[in-house]
Amino acid sequence: MKKIILIFLLLSFYTNSNSQSPKIDSLKNLLKKNNPDSIHVKLLKNLSFEYVNYMPDSAILIAQEGLAIAKRIDFRRAEPALLNVMGLAYRTIGNYPKALEIHLEALKINERMKNMNGMSVAYNNIGIIYKKVGDFRKALDCYFKAKKIAEDINSQEDILNNFINIGSAYIYLNQLDSARLFTQQAYELALKLKDDYRISEALNNLGDVFMKMNNSDISLSFYKSALPYYEKEKNYEGLAGCLLNMAKIFKIKNESDSSLIYTMLSLIKAQKSGFTEQIFSTSEFLSQYYAEHNIIDSAFKYFKIASVAKDSLFNKERTEQLQNLSFNERIRQQEIIAEKIEKEKERKNNLQLIGIALFIVIFISFVLIFSRRKTNPKSIEILGLVALLLVFEFISLLIDPYIGRLTHHSPIFMMLILVSMAAVLGRLHHKIEEWIKKKVANKIIKSRKHPSNLKKKRLSK
């Protein structure tokens, strides 16, 4: 009798806990007012975010409405934020290809706007998708990209997300020391920032760490600590997962009745909100539970539910979509890296060209100064020739890409253009040389006619 009462109380509590939060009511009331379009878009974005882990289908519809208005009024900065919410909602209901497509689009928009915070968020969300489909290394790569950006802009909230996600990925990779380190850092930072949403995730992940370390008592204490935070934040996706984790612990402790109760609670939550991944994992666990207790009808019933959910998550079409999106993004990232390398190469070349130009200017200045002070025409002629060669080669370096494009890299036409240019410069050099010689000769004549020189000649006589 006591067990039946406990089951009834738990089911009543968790099935009625989907009541709408005061924050949602407040946002709905604000939306009823005659707000400017930009304010209306922001309110829709905030409302859709509140629905993500509560009613994801509604979150998608609300975010789509906000996105349509944002595009109409050219409110570009709001677009990636709304796409982010849509991606989260599609991920929550298990449509990973659509979620990845949307988060990649948000990433591209943020890159164009140079919105570093938005880029960090996008990389985090993309990493979560890869984690969901089991590609943990690729997920970590995204998380660490997001972490670097977050640290560059000193965004504590984004750094907290990174710690949570990196720790979670290490749990799946069974690197428990790293998982515990990052998750503990996440918990401490979440407490400092008073972020109840992240506190619940950190506590749940610490429970996962200790479960893998075969310390069921500590693990269960972390899961129990996470429950009120999940309830407070109306994070029913996280709550469903936490309840299932507790059921697994009770199974390890051979408390079959408690394991069944918490699994049922998890399934109720998942089915009520449409969390496909949680429906799959919970139904699979129930199928195994009933099979172990030789209750074949129930085992088969939940096996079918799990199969439908699994097919929805990982059917062939969705798997191919994910692979194509992942491949295209990898190519895009490679192109971005190649473009950065090319720009860096171009920058170095420009610096070298500036250095060469400065050297040529200094050298020509030296020749001109030398021509005024010295009277050896041969030396001036040699220096002038060197200056001409430097100028010719420098101009060739500058115009070579343009000549190549103009002539389609035809050797004959390129040679004709360079020869013509050399002829013009040669002619110019000849005129400059004649001018310098004439200037030097005049200087010599004037020097000889100088009174001091005439006086020296008389004295020598």
pLDDT digits (tens, 9 = 90+) for 64-113: 999 999 999 999 899 999 999 999 999 988 888 999 999 999 999 999 99
**d(C-alpha 182, C-alpha 129), whole Å:** 20
**d(C-alpha 5, C-alpha 137), whole Å:** 46
**Residue-wise pLDDT tens digits, 297-334:** 999 999 999 999 888 887 767 777 777 777 677 777 76
The pLDDT of residue 356:
74
pLDDT at 228 over 90: yes
Q: What is the mean pLDDT of residues 131-138?
A: 90
The pLDDT of residue 217:
94
pLDDT at 14 over 60: no
Which of 1-5, 83-87, 396-400, 434-438 has the lowest average pLDDT? 1-5
pLDDT at 367 over 70: no
The Cα angle at residue 355 between residues 349 and 359, in degrees rounded to 5: 145
What the block records as the tokens of 201 is: 């995730």
Q: What is the mean pLDDT of residues 216-240?
A: 92
The pLDDT of residue 416:
73
Q: Which amino acid is it at 333?
A: Q
Q: What is the mean pLDDT of residues 155-164?
A: 93
pLDDT at 2 over 50: no
Closest-CA residue to 230 (of 17, 387, 16, 40): 17
**Burial call 118-138: b when 16+ CB within 10 Å, e when fewer:** bbbbbbbbbbbbbbbbebbeb
pLDDT, the chain, mean:
82
pLDDT at 455 over 70: no
Which of 210-224, 228-242, 444-458 has the lowest average pLDDT? 444-458
Higher pLDDT among residues 217 and 410, named by residue: 217
Which of 207-216, 229-238, 239-248, 368-377 has the lowest average pLDDT? 368-377
**Burial call 370-396: b when 16+ CB within 10 Å, e when fewer:** ebeeeeebeebeebbeebbebbbeeee
Give the largest CA-CA distance in the chain.
144
The CB density around residue 280, as the number of other CB atoms within 10 Å, is 22
pLDDT at 3 over 90: no
**Residue-wise pLDDT tens digits, 38-58:** 999 999 999 999 888 878 899
The pLDDT of residue 418:
66
Closest-CA residue to 210 (of 200, 221, 218, 202): 218
**d(C-alpha 394, C-alpha 341), whole Å:** 24
Which of 21-25, 185-189, 389-393, 398-402 has the lowest average pLDDT? 389-393
Q: CA 287: distance to chain centroid?
A: 39
CA distance between the termini of the chain: 144
**d(C-alpha 81, C-alpha 87), whole Å:** 10
The pLDDT of residue 5:
46
pLDDT at 172 over 90: yes
- In the chain, the percentage of residues whose pLDDT exceeds 90 is 49
pLDDT at 249 over 90: yes
The pLDDT of residue 11:
54
Categorize the per-residue pLDDT at 379 as very low, low, confident or very high, splitting at 50, 70 and 90: low
Higher pLDDT among residues 74 and 415, named by residue: 74
**Residue-wise pLDDT tens digits, 196-225:** 999 999 999 999 999 999 999 999 999 999
Which of 282-291, 314-323, 369-378, 394-403 has the lowest average pLDDT? 369-378
**Residue-wise pLDDT tens digits, 438-449:** 555 555 455 555
Q: What is the mean pLDDT of residues 162-186?
A: 95
Q: What is the mean pLDDT of residues 333-358?
A: 74
Q: CA 369: distance to chain centroid?
A: 57
